[in-house]
């Protein structure tokens, strides 16, 4: 007879199953706690630099062009038609070189009219002088006649007085001779005063007419100048840069006829961004790159107004100009703002502005990873910027634009 065997529970199997479940749970929890893998970045496309402690030169840079220090603009004094064009742009001229010849019949007519008015005024002056002198002489003759009559009346009155004392003439006759003498006395005084008035007024009347002659003379001289101005001259030594009008064209009064410059005396006019122009001051040293060489200069003028977000800065050039330097040549200028001693600085990042706080990726020493750190930036230059906090000397940082990885704190360099 068979006896059933008693089966014991397999404890080892349960232990193994429990250990397996525990391992699965542990791995799941560990994987859940792991941070996501850092994204990879091609290190060959990154621009890196090392933080340095030492001197730093602050500079600002801007494009510009060479401009003559002295420009002679030749404008049309009077309207006219271009009859002759005697020189071409690029030729060297002197102050007396004739550039253009204009013609305008109206200007000639105005000159003739002005000269006729001057001649009439001069004739009136001569006539007035003759008339006044004649009147003075006539009055002088009247005074002489009255004086003679006055003296004769005095002699007769004296004689009649003696005869009257001897009763040789009547009292009435003596009274008439005495009244005649008194009348001529007053008349002589009046005629002398009239002669004095004539004499004193001659100068004033002649002066008024002489002023009229001078005015007509000035008008005539001006009209002659207008005629002379139709022969257009350079007015200064230099090189003719512009001569826009052609033969047959009509030039209005005030229109630009020519531009004469001195190519040996040039200055650079730089366009500095208005955010950086606040640190530019007169007398600062500048370097001007003409593509054919670099010439030094100094800031001599800063435009008080801003145009198109830039400020014009004039730089006078020192020393000889490189070959090929000419007006309107495009240049690049760098102005030295100041020199800083013993400051922590690094190359300027693509996204960092002065006096701001930004996130910069710092390469971890001995690894191929970089982590984001908060860095406080200070004063900036063209190619460098001051580090106030967040980095130490010797740190290697990424200066390239890392905006694609704004959502991560660490990247892996491949």
Residue-wise pLDDT for 113-156, tens only, equals 999 999 999 999 999 899 988 888 888 898 898 888 888 888 88
Of the pLDDT bands very low, low, confident and very high (cuts 50, 70, 90), residue 7 is low
pLDDT at 407: 81
CB atoms within 10 A of CB 162: 11
For residues 94-119, average pLDDT: 93
Whether residue 5 is predicted with pLDDT greater than 60 in this model: the reply is no
Q: Decide which of 81 and 355 is more confident.
A: 81
Whether residue 233 is predicted with pLDDT greater than 60 in this model: the reply is yes
Mean of the per-residue pLDDT values of the chain: 86
Instruction: Tell me how far apart the alpha carbons of residues 316 and 323 are, in angstroms, rounded to a whole number.
Output: 17
Q: How far is CA 373 from CA 267, 334, 398, in A?
A: 45, 32, 11
Whether residue 311 is predicted with pLDDT greater than 80 in this model: the reply is yes
Of the pLDDT bands very low, low, confident and very high (cuts 50, 70, 90), residue 189 is confident
pLDDT at 212: 92
For residues 53-59, average pLDDT: 90
Instruction: Tell me how far apart the alpha carbons of residues 114 and 120 are, in angstroms, rounded to a whole number.
Output: 10
For residues 272-277, average pLDDT: 86
Q: Decide which of 181 and 214 is more confident.
A: 214
For residues 246-271, average pLDDT: 90
% pLDDT > 70, the chain: 91
Whether residue 80 is predicted with pLDDT greater than 80 in this model: the reply is yes
pLDDT at 310: 92
Of the pLDDT bands very low, low, confident and very high (cuts 50, 70, 90), residue 110 is very high
pLDDT at 12: 65
For residues 351-370, average pLDDT: 86
pLDDT at 1: 46
**Strand 384-389 relative to strand 330-347: parallel, antiparallel, unpaired?**
antiparallel
Between 22-36, 42-56, 106-120, the lowest mean confidence (pLDDT) is in: 22-36
Whether residue 393 is predicted with pLDDT greater than 60 in this model: the reply is yes
Q: Exposed/middle/buried for 378, CB within 10 Å: 0-12, 13-18, 19+?
A: middle
Q: What's the predicted TM-score (pTM) here?
A: 0.60
State the Cα angle at 297 between 292 and 299, rounded to 5°: 130
Contact 74, 257 (CB under 8 A): yes
Whether residue 314 is predicted with pLDDT greater than 90 in this model: the reply is yes
For residues 266-275, average pLDDT: 90
% pLDDT > 90, the chain: 37
Q: Which helix (H) or strand (E) holds 288?
A: strand 285-289
Instruction: Tell me how far apart the alpha carbons of residues 239 and 261 are, in angstroms, rounded to a whole number.
Output: 5
* Structure token pair of residue 364: 């971890």
Of the pLDDT bands very low, low, confident and very high (cuts 50, 70, 90), residue 27 is low
Whether residue 318 is predicted with pLDDT greater than 60 in this model: the reply is yes
Of the pLDDT bands very low, low, confident and very high (cuts 50, 70, 90), residue 216 is very high
Task: List 363's β-bridge partners, or say none.
Answer: 370
Of the pLDDT bands very low, low, confident and very high (cuts 50, 70, 90), residue 215 is very high
Whether residue 228 is predicted with pLDDT greater than 60 in this model: the reply is yes
Whether residue 221 is predicted with pLDDT greater than 90 in this model: the reply is yes
Contact 44, 311 (CB under 8 A): no
* Structure token pair of residue 279: 């640190």
Sign of CA dihedral 151, 155, 161, 167: negative
Between 227-231, 391-395, 410-414, the lowest mean confidence (pLDDT) is in: 410-414
């Amino acid at each position: 007879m068979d006896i059933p065997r008693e089966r014991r529970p397999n404890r080892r199997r349960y232990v193994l199953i429990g250990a397996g479940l525990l391992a699965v749970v542990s791995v799941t929890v560990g994987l859940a706690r792991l941070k996501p893998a850092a994204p990879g970045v091609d290190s060959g496309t990154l621009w890196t630099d090392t933080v340095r402690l030492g001197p730093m030169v602050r500079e600002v840079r801007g494009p510009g062009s060479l401009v003559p220090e002295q420009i002679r603009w030749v404008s049309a004094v009077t309207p006219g038609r271009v009859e002759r064009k005697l020189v071409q742009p690029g030729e060297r001229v002197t102050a007396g070189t004739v550039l253009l010849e204009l013609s305008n019949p109206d200007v000639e007519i105005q000159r003739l009219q002005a000269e006729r008015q001057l001649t009439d005024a001069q004739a009136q002056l001569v006539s007035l002088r003759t008339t006044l002198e004649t009147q003075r002489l006539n009055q002088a003759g009247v005074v002489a006649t009255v004086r003679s009559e006055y003296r004769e009346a005095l002699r007769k009155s004296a004689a009649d007085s003696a005869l009257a004392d001897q009763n040789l003439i009547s009292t009435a006759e003596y009274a008439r001779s005495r009244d005649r003498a008194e009348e001529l006395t007053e008349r002589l005084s009046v005629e002398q005063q009239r002669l004095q008035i004539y004499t004193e007024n001659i100068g004033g009347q002649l002066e008024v007419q002489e002023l009229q002659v001078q005015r007509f003379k000035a008008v005539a001289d001006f009209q002659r100048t207008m005629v002379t101005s139709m022969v257009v001259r350079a007015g200064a030594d230099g090189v003719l840069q512009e001569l826009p009008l052609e033969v047959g064209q009509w030039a209005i009064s005030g229109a630009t006829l020519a531009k004469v410059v001195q190519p040996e005396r040039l200055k650079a006019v730089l366009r500095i961004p208005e955010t950086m122009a606040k640190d530019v001051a007169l007398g600062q040293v500048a370097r001007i790159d003409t593509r054919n060489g670099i010439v030094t200069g100094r800031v001599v003028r800063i435009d008080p107004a801003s145009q198109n977000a830039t400020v014009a800065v004039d730089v006078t050039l020192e020393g000889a100009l490189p070959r090929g330097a000419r007006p309107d040549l495009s240049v690049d200028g760098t102005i030295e703002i100041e020199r800083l001693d013993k400051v922590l600085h690094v190359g300027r990042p693509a996204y960092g502005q002065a006096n701001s706080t930004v996130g910069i990726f710092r390469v971890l020493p001995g690894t191929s990873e970089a982590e984001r750190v908060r860095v406080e930036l200070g004063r900036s230059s063209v190619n460098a910027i001051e580090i106030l906090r967040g980095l130490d000397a010797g740190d290697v940082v990424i200066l390239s634009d890392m905006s694609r990885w704004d959502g991560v704190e660490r990247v892996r360099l491949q």
